[in-house]
Amino acid sequence: MGTKIDHRLHVFFLPLMAQGHLIPVIDMAKLFSSRGLKSTVATTSHFAPFLSKSLQNDTDSVVVTFKIPSADVGLPEDVEAVHMAKTPDMQNRFFKSCGLLGPRIADILERYRPDFLVADMFFTWAPDVAKEFGIPCLVFHGTSYFSLCAGLSVFLHQPYKTVSDDLEPFVIPDLPDEIEFTRSRVADFVKNNDGGVLSTWYKESKAMEERSYGVLMNSFYELEPGYADHYSNFLGRKAWNIGPLFMYEKRTEQRAKRGMEASIDEHECLKWLDSKKPDSVIYVSFGSVANFDDNQLMELAAGLEASGREFIWVVKKEKREGVREDWLPQGFEERIQGKGLIIRGWAPQVTILEHDAIGGFVTHCGWNSTLESVCAGVPMVTWPVSAEQFFNEKLVTKLLRIGVEVGAKKWRRLLGDFVKRDAVEKAVRKVMEGEEAEEMRRRVRGFAEMARRAIEEGGSSVLDLDALLEDLRLQCVARDTS
């Protein structure tokens, strides 16, 4: 076979079927397209319209759908996304089905014949399928270097076994910094190690990193240099940091658009924010999956009100006319008229965070939200719930010192740990008022500037991206000529 000099690289994306995993893949497809690559993204029919819409103007992308092997795992057929699996048992079945998708994806790869595969860490079989097709498999980790390093250390050394109490602190071993953690903050599927779906997956995902060609990171070197180095040099992983992915889109109004329609008119929202003073409003949102019970929502509302701060609060609750809402304190909505905005459903988060009026973000520390806050120069109140969010909290509060902890202590799969109103009030005040708040704001704005530089020509992320694409082109040429 001759060398295909003008061969246009074709990437096949396989993201987990969850908003927080699809959004950075949309950003990545746009970025790769701006570098002349074409892409195919595979997902369920639930997400296909959302993906097609997000990619239609900016990429030469194809969206292909697959069916989840629901019957094989006893999952209702209409559960096609993580947020639709409402109980731990359903979630287990959902993740189990991810482990069975290999043959279905192999059939699609046979048809599309891409040059490389970018697979979410939930598809631990992906390196083997890629090997069948003789193409490299890259793992996409939508999280921080710090959480990968800390997570691997806790998994390997099991320091939570050395303490006698759930809240007794231990130092996470073998990290560049001394970071304290507790057993209560470690994910159940790590500490129980019970052979269940998630604990098996977690082990396999670590092995997947080793069997793949390398790891793509939605982070930038200057944010966590010690941990980017630790991950590559000490843990021996080949990784490219090419983020923050959403920042490559220079058109601000496009940056926030990744398909989902906001539940509020964006102009209304901006008009509301325009009427507020700089850094005066706190934004409260917990991503696409995390949830709280009515008691907690009530406590949060009371804490926000007591802080005296103006706010935007995103709640996953529909308004039903004439139905009394038990999760809101009596008369709350009347009292907050003009001072607080409740968005029910999906908020235009990036647009909100980038507005001058936003002075703080109460966040669950999902990595996309954390990065979006960093890039907008907004300090955080950290309120982790599950996944790797408790590690991201430590990065934000202890290493970067751009946020304060609200005091959530217990890792919980679906509903967050209970936090009292006084703690909410105190944390909100701390991030919005006084000298410490000003220092955090100065620091986070420094990181925002570094993020902007990382994705400029010659910046650290662009250099890593260039190196990655060059590497993949050489791989492709080598394959074509062999």
**Interacting residues with ligand UDP (CB under 6 A):** 19-20, 23, 285, 287-290, 314, 346-347, 349-350, 366-369, 372
The helix or strand, by DSSP H or E, that contains position 352, with its residue range, turns out to be: helix 349-353
Three-class DSSP category at 158: coil
- Tell me the closest approach of the beta carbon of residue 269 to ligand UDP, in angstroms: 11
- Tell me the closest approach of the beta carbon of residue 329 to ligand UDP, in angstroms: 23
User: With respect to ligand UDP, which residue has the nearer C-beta, 303 or 366?
Assistant: 366
User: With respect to ligand UDP, which residue has the nearer C-beta, 151 or 366?
Assistant: 366
Cβ atoms of 31 and 248 closer than 8 Å: yes
d(CA 407, CA 373): 19
Cβ atoms of 346 and 260 closer than 8 Å: yes
Q: At what angle do helices 19-34 and 48-55 cross, to 10 degrees?
A: 30
The region that residue 53 occupies, defined by phi over 0 for left and psi between -120 and 50 for alpha, beta otherwise, is alpha
User: With respect to ligand UDP, which residue has the nearer C-beta, 87 or 162?
Assistant: 87
Task: Give backbone dihedrals phi and psi of 147, rounded to 5 degrees, phi first.
Answer: -65, -35
d(CA 193, CA 315): 33
User: With respect to ligand UDP, which residue has the nearer C-beta, 349 or 397?
Assistant: 349
Amino acid at 39: S
Residue 78 a catalytic site member: no
- Tell me the closest approach of the beta carbon of residue 89 to ligand UDP, in angstroms: 20
Cβ atoms of 370 and 364 closer than 8 Å: no
**Number of C-beta neighbours around residue 178 at 10 A:** 8
Q: In the beta sheet, which residues pair with residue 41? A: 13, 63
One DSSP character per residue, 231-287 reads IIIIS---EEE---GGGG---HHHHT-SSPPPSS-HHHHHHHHHTS-TT-EEEEE-T
Three-class DSSP category at 41: strand
- Tokens 């701390």 sit on residue: 430
User: With respect to ligand UDP, which residue has the nearer C-beta, 153 or 288?
Assistant: 288
User: With respect to ligand UDP, which residue has the nearer C-beta, 19 or 147?
Assistant: 19
Query: Which tokens belong to 357?
Result: 């009026």
User: With respect to ligand UDP, which residue has the nearer C-beta, 23 or 469?
Assistant: 23
- Tell me the closest approach of the beta carbon of residue 72 to ligand UDP, in angstroms: 26
- Tell me the closest approach of the beta carbon of residue 18 to ligand UDP, in angstroms: 6
User: With respect to ligand UDP, which residue has the nearer C-beta, 212 or 392?
Assistant: 392
d(CA 216, CA 120): 10
User: With respect to ligand UDP, which residue has the nearer C-beta, 120 or 425?
Assistant: 120
- Tell me the closest approach of the beta carbon of residue 359 to ligand UDP, in angstroms: 18
- Tell me the closest approach of the beta carbon of residue 93 to ligand UDP, in angstroms: 20
> Annotated catalytic residue: which of 27, 83, 115, 120?
120
Sheet strands (E) in 323-429: 340-344, 358-363, 380-382, 403-405
**What are the CA-CA distances from residue 290 to residues 127, 286, 287, 384 (Å)?**
30, 6, 6, 9
Residue 21 a catalytic site member: yes
Cβ-based neighbours of 357, under 8 Å, separated by 6 or more: 273, 274, 276, 277, 278, 279, 280, 281
Smallest CA-to-CA distance from 52 within 71, 26, 28, 70 is with 26
The dihedral built from the CA positions of residue 151, 155, 156 and 162, taken in this order, carries a sign that is positive
Amino acid at 146: F
Active site residue ranges = 21, 120
